């Protein structure tokens, strides 16, 4: 039995997570769901956005399924990633039949370093009207994210992909920080001779994810660049409602859709649960429940191809109704 810590969070998290949980229950895999609280409402009531009991529940679980963070995101999901040392942010980019994608045949993964860079939050005002931010890139963190990316490429190559890792950086301008990042990439690549390698400046990469996304397999980059590239990339395959992600470290797995809490549609049953269901697929694979993961993804593909979707995808179903359509096909 897998122990899952479920944190719905804020806004549409309270709608899309229950839909994904219903799908997970339909797989026949034995789960113990432990619901925990975090987010804006908890903060308003208690003054603490991420209670200690929620942290304890996350640490005790085999995996964590998270919904969405509102205004307290920095004190909830960002903090939780740091506490659990989930250093690899995994963001698949895939086109599905039935979705109005800008291109077909897209199937690659962005691997984003999750612990340093500008997101360390080291900022200061050094004079009136003058502010600075410190960008932190270390060899140790770079090595482990590259090893993770190359191992993923090895696994995907066994499934028939090209077996390639692309590094996105800006070493021509950020000569010291991204210079180290790029240098470490090629050092790690020496241990993976069977995997193709290439690197691009991040601005060129931004163009390539639009002009030739079908040429990528694993894309690895630093924290801020990964955040920006991945949001642009999913615009090619239907938008944030189609964008799952996982935060993985050596000990913990924290899974969350990329989208935010969407307060403008929260509570209306309009939220697209696809990203959260795909996030649950990622969680199943993390738990080595590969057969169940395939079942869920196949059922979701059928629902998407039939147009049994929420209004943002051209359908008429509510969040829960779409979840039910996927669950009954699992």
pLDDT tens-digit series, residues 256-289: 999 989 999 999 999 999 999 999 999 999 999 9
**pLDDT of 171-208, one tens digit each?**
999 999 999 999 999 999 999 999 999 999 999 999 99
**pLDDT of 86-108, one tens digit each?**
999 999 999 998 898 989 999 99
Q: Phi first, then psi: give them for residue 9, nearest 5 degrees.
A: 75, -135
Q: How far is CA 229 from the centre of its chain?
A: 12
Would you state the pLDDT for residue 270? 95
Name the pLDDT band for 59 (thresholds 50, 70, 90). Answer: very high
Name the pLDDT band for 133 (thresholds 50, 70, 90). Answer: very high
What is the rounded distance in angstroms from the CA atom of residue 287 to the CA atom of residue 49? 28
Question: Residue 119: pLDDT above 90?
Answer: no
**pLDDT of 292-326, one tens digit each?**
999 999 999 999 999 999 999 999 999 999 999 99
What is the rounded distance in angstroms from the CA atom of residue 73 to the CA atom of residue 39? 7
0.85 surpassed by pTM: yes
- Strands of the sheet containing 246-248, edge to edge, are 31-36, 2-9, 63-68, 253-255, 246-248, 88-94, 107-113, 218-221, 164-169, 196-201
Inter-residue contact 254 to 66 (CB < 8 Å): yes
> What 8-state DSSP symbol labels residue 215?
G
Would you state the pLDDT for residue 148? 97
Question: Residue 21: pLDDT above 90?
Answer: yes
Would you state the pLDDT for residue 100? 87
What is the rounded distance in angstroms from the CA atom of residue 195 to the CA atom of residue 163? 5
Inter-residue contact 110 to 88 (CB < 8 Å): no
**Residue 164, CA atoms < 13 Å, CB-side half-sphere:** 13
- 3-state helix vs strand vs coil in the chain, percent to 5: 45, 20, 35
Q: How far is CA 293 from the centre of its chain?
A: 16
* Domains located in the chain, CATH noted: 1-87+242-330 (3.40.718.10), 102-236 (3.40.718.10)
Catalytic residue positions, numbered: 119, 170, 203, 227, 231
């Amino acid at each position: 039995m897998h122990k899952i810590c479920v944190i719905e969070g804020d806004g549409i998290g309270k709608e899309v997570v229950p839909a994904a949980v219903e799908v997970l229950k339909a797989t026949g895999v034995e789960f113990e769901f432990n619901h925990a609280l975090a987010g804006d409402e908890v903060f308003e009531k208690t003054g603490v956005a991420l209670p200690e009991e929620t942290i304890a529940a996350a640490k005790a679980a085999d995996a964590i399924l998270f919904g969405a963070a509102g205004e307290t995101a920095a004190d909830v999901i960002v903090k939780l990633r740091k506490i659990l040392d989930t250093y690899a942010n995994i963001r698949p980019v895939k086109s599905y039949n039935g979705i109005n994608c800008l291109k077909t045949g897209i199937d690659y993964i962005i691997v984003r370093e999750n612990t340093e860079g500008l997101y360390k939050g080291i900022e200061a005002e050094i004079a009136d009207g003058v502010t600075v931010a410190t960008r932190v890139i270390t060899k140790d963190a770079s090595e482990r994210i590259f090893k993770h990316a190359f191992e993923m490429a090895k696994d995907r190559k066994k499934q028939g992909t090209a077996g390639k890792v692309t590094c996105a950086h800006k070493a021509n301008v950020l000569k010291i920080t991204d210079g180290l990042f790029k240098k470490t990439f090629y050092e790690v690549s020496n241990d993976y001779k069977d995997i193709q390698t290439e690197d691009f400046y991040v601005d060129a990469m931004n163009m390539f994810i639009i002009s030739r996304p079908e040429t990528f397999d694993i894309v690895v980059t630093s924290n801020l660049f990964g955040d920006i590239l991945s949001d642009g990339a999913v615009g090619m395959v239907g938008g944030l409602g189609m964008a799952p992600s996982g935060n993985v470290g050596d000990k913990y797995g924290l899974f969350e859709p990329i989208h935010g809490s969407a307060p403008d549609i929260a509570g209306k049953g309009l939220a697209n649960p696809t990203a959260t269901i795909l996030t649950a697929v990622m969680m199943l694979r993390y738990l080595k429940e590969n057969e169940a993961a395939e079942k869920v993804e196949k059922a979701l593909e059928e629902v998407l191809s039939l147009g049994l979707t929420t209004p943002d995808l051209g359908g008429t179903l509510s969040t829960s109704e779409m979840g039910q359509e996927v669950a009954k096909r699992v």
